[in-house]
Amino acid sequence: MSDSLKALLIEDSEVDARLIERALRKDWAQLECRRIDCRATLANALDEAAWDVILVDYHMPELRVADVIDALKERVMDRPLIVVSGALNIESAIELLRAGAHDFVSKDDLARLAPSIKRELRSAADRHENRASQAALRESEARLRGYLGDVIGALARAVEQRDPFTAGHQQRVARLAGAIARALGLRDDAIQCVESAGAIHDIGKVSIPAEIVNRPGPLNQPEREIVHAHAELGYEIMKDLKAPWPIAEVIRQHHERTDGSGYPRGLTGEQTLIEARILAVADVVEAMTAHRPYRPARSIDQALAEIEGYGGERYDARAARACAVLFRKEEFSFSRVGSRAGAEPVTAPFE
């Protein structure tokens, strides 16, 4: 603990101020103490020096403790504020602590003042260190998410180069899934998860023979089973990625269906993550409306009829209805990169 202290003393009694300063000099040889006693000088006093502690008398005609607390909050100043009073009942003391004061000391017991200041200075240092740690953690997370975005982008390009018939499919699915998630009012983390998983949801196809993936015609049953394995293979590829969201599990679940008819594990209802249920809807709509060598593209109305007709059966009902609303209100379009994809949450209609 430093042997110097800079204290702003807000006190209208010069006699009491000298007593307080004398008490402080017993513990701090280098003491800088300034006294003010009115609202007019408060702002300048707070701004002119980096005070270690603010000491405030409770009973002053021209300046209230609440005024000092408000001034500190306006300046985002985290300084120990200790109320020093000759008469302060317990109810008023508790009210002051709730408002933002850190401690209170009676003028009849100034021996408590120095220990209180030292304790609050340690607490302030701990708060400062914690804020610095939190800021460093946020910066680290931002870098991690940036690196993760680069990795996901590279993986998505790798998948699409291997499967030219579905080039752009993953990105379009990611955009639609993110729009649905926003429409349902999901948290930012869930939205980022569904968009990231959507961008690489078919990554498991890199483990499937190219002659099957790129075949311009219908597959036989054994070949379909091989293709169906891509969800589990995608999970195996991504499961060790250090991501802040369950991307691997969403990839594994994106072909599950509400009634258990999906794959790879035949999960039902809420056994699957909400991000996976959203991704399933987006994947079906995009796939149906895209041209394939073995069939022409279907209309968006046909795709919406599919998800709405089987909403609550194959597909999550709320996600299906949210998707339909986005298209019918023209808040989303695959052809418009800058569309208003879910600008406003529309949770209520899907309860």
If you ran DSSP here, which 8-state letter would residue 57 be given? E
For residues 34 and 308, what is the distance between their CA atoms, to the nearest angstrom? 72
Q: Which residues of 250-289 are buried (b: 16+ CB within 10 A; e: fewer)?
A: bbbbbbbbbeeebbbeebeeeebbbbbbbbbbbbbbbbbb
Are 180 and 323 in contact by the 8 Å Cβ rule? The answer is yes
The CA distances from residue 243 to 35, 137, 170, 237, in Å, are: 54, 15, 19, 13
| Tally of helices (H runs) and strands (E runs) in the chain | 14, 5
For residues 62 and 37, what is the distance between their CA atoms, to the nearest angstrom? 7
For the chain, what is the radius of gyration of the CA atoms?
32
Active-site positions read: 205
